[in-house]
Amino acid sequence: MLGSCSVIRYIPEGQGLYVGSKVNVEADSISKPNISGLEANLEAIVKPAPNKTIFGFPWKVWFYYWIGEPKDEGGIRSWFRRKLGEPPVIATQRVVDINAANMAGYLDNQGFYRSTAKGKLNVSEKRTATAEYNAYVMPRYVINEVNIVVPDSSVFNRDLVLSKKDTYLKKGDPIRLEVVTAERSRIEQQLKGKGYYYFNPDYLIVKVDSTIGRQDSTLVPQQVNLYLEVKKETAQTALKQYYINRIFVNTGTAEDSAADSTVNAGGRIRRGLTIKDPGELYKRRIFYDAIGFRRGNLYTNKAQEISVTRLVNLQNFKFVKNDFELVPRSDSALLNVYYNLAPQKKKSLQTTLSASTKSNGLAGSELRINWKNRNFFRGAEILNLSGFYGFDLQLGGNKIDNPNRVGNEFIRYGATASLSFPRFIIPFVRIRPERSQILPKTILALNFENRVQRDFFTLRSIRADWSYVWSKNTQLEHTLTPIALNFIEPRNVNSERYVAILTSPNTNPLDKKRYITQVETKFIIAGSNYTVSYRPNPRPFSKNQFVLMGGIDYGGNLLSLLGKKNPGDSVKEFLNIPILQFAKFDGDVRYFRTINSRIKWANRLLGGVGIPFGNSKKMQLPQFKQYFAGGSTGIRAFRARALGPGAYNPDTTSIALFGYNAFGDIRLEASSEVRVKFTDIINGALFVDAGNIWTFRGNAGEGFEDETIFKKTFLNQVAVGGGIGLRLDFSFLVFRLDIATPFRKPWYTVTPVDQDPNAPLDPSAPLQYKNPWVFNEINFGSKTWRKENLILNIAVGLPF
- pLDDT tens-digit series, residues 678-698: 888 899 999 999 999 998 876
> Do 409 and 429 contact (CB within 8 A), yes or no?
no
- pLDDT tens-digit series, residues 566-616: 665 667 777 777 778 889 999 999 999 999 888 999 999 999 999 988 777
Calculate the dihedral angle through the C-alpha atoms of 437, 441, 447, 453, rounding to the nearest 10 degrees. 20
pLDDT in the model for residue 74:
73
DSSP string, 632-652: TTS-TTS-TT-S-STT----H
CA-to-CA distance for 274 and 611, rounded, in angstroms? 55
pLDDT in the model for residue 525:
84
CA-to-CA distance for 785 and 796, rounded, in angstroms? 27
Sheet holding 204-209, edge to edge: 141-148, 222-230, 204-209
What is the average pLDDT across 733-762?
Answer: 81
Residue 764 burial by Cβ neighbours in a 10 Å radius (0-12, 13-18, 19+): exposed
Report whether pLDDT(346) > 80. yes
Confidence of residue 179 (pLDDT cuts 50, 70, 90): very high
Report whether pLDDT(7) > 90. no
Map residue 736 onto helix, strand or coil. strand
Confidence of residue 764 (pLDDT cuts 50, 70, 90): low
How far does CA 84 lie from the centroid of its chain? 36
- pLDDT tens-digit series, residues 549-559: 999 999 877 77
What is the average pLDDT across 177-195?
Answer: 94
CA-to-CA distance for 95 and 446, rounded, in angstroms? 66
Neighbours of 355 (CB within 10 A): 9
Confidence of residue 456 (pLDDT cuts 50, 70, 90): confident
Sheet holding 572-574, edge to edge: 564-565, 572-574, 577-578
DSSP string, 248-285: EEE---GGGTT--HHHHTTSEEETTEEEE-TT--S-TH
pLDDT in the model for residue 510:
64
Q: Which tops the pLDDT comparison, 658 or 399?
A: 658
pLDDT in the model for residue 496:
81
- Percent of residues, the chain, with pLDDT higher than 90: 47
pLDDT in the model for residue 614:
79
CA-to-CA distance for 241 and 193, rounded, in angstroms? 10
Residue 115 burial by Cβ neighbours in a 10 Å radius (0-12, 13-18, 19+): buried
Number of alpha carbons in the 13 Å side-chain half-sphere of residue 155: 10
Confidence of residue 352 (pLDDT cuts 50, 70, 90): very high
Report whether pLDDT(256) > 70. no
- pLDDT tens-digit series, residues 643-682: 888 888 766 555 655 566 788 899 999 999 999 998 888 9
pLDDT in the model for residue 508:
66
Give rounded-to-5 percent helix, strand, coil for the chain.
Answer: 20, 40, 40
What is the pLDDT of the chain when averaged over all its residues? 84
Confidence of residue 377 (pLDDT cuts 50, 70, 90): very high
